[in-house]
Structure 1
Amino acid sequence: MNSERYVRGLAKLKEIDGQAGENVINSLSDIAPDFARLLIEFPFGDIYSRPGLDLKTRELAVVAALTALGNAAPQLKVHIQGARNVGCSEQEIVEVIIQMAVYAGFPAALNGLFAAKEVFAQHPTPPSH
């Protein structure tokens, strides 16, 4: 687990998701450590580390995709917080989720909005100075 991809991916995961990402990886260590490694190497070491999009844009795309799927609430919540961690405002996140009503339907958008509401309540935005 010291490959260049793994090291790069772990750094990117920490940058985006902080402790939440590490918790997911650690929770897989006893049942599927190879899957945990793949999760770090491929999405974060290969895809998230590519040039061409900043992390804010990537996370908004992930929030949109997970909202549209409609069956990935735990992952959506992690990525809503990840989007906030990389500079997305609550308004930007909400607007992306609302946009998904057009393409994924109102139920998916509603579920996404409720997930966002929960994340925002659990992790309030600190007041700006």
Structure 2
Amino acid sequence: MNEVSESRYERGTRKLAEIDGEGGQAVIASLADIAPDFARYIVEFPFGDIYSRPGLDLRAREVATIAALTAMGNARPQLKVHIRAGLNVGLSRDQIVETIMQMAVYAGFPAALNGLFAAKEVFAE
């Protein structure tokens, strides 16, 4: 299907699979019994609209996402999903670690430590 006739949901589903593989679909499936509409919003907006835009490649988008989730300091499950996604789109472990360490400057050492421990768990999987 070409991009013009492809729906936001179809485009988002394709992009989610490209970025997160089975992990992304597991997150969507886990919402089916409590908030299926929210699951659809996740597919359509972040992945169908934002991740599908030109201008940044998927590696750059995952660096930005890992940095933001690390800086938030309270999104460990989502951070772990995006660390996996970063590996999936070609980021090295060192690049992920450096991205998280950079957040110590802007979000503080506790946020960076939490991010590093999340990365350590993902790398051990």
Q: TM-score, normalised by structure 2?
A: 0.95
Q: CA deviation at 1:9?
A: 0.3
- Within 2, Cα distance between the matches of 1:101 and 1:72? 16
Counterpart residue identity of residue 43, structure 2: I
**1:116 aligned to 2:119?**
yes
Q: CA deviation at 1:55?
A: 0.0
Of 47, 54, 79 in structure 1, the residue corresponding to residue 82 of structure 2 is 79
Tell me the equivalent position of 1:106: 109
Q: How does 1:16-35 map to 2 (within 5 A)?
A: 16-35=19-38
- Unpaired segments of 5 or more residues in structure 1? 123-129
Tell me the equivalent position of 2:45: 42
Q: CA deviation at 1:67?
A: 0.1
Q: CA deviation at 1:38?
A: 0.3
- Within 2, Cα distance between the matches of 1:46 and 1:116? 27
- Unpaired segments of 5 or more residues in structure 2? 1-5
**1:55 aligned to 2:63?**
no
Tell me the equivalent position of 2:13: 10
Per-residue CA shift, 1:71-121, capped at 9, x if unaligned?
Answer: 000000000000000000000000000000000000000000000000000
Counterpart residue identity of residue 16, structure 2: L
SS across alignment from 1:52:
coil
Tell me the equivalent position of 1:92: 95
Q: CA deviation at 1:5?
A: 0.2
Q: TM-score, normalised by structure 1?
A: 0.92
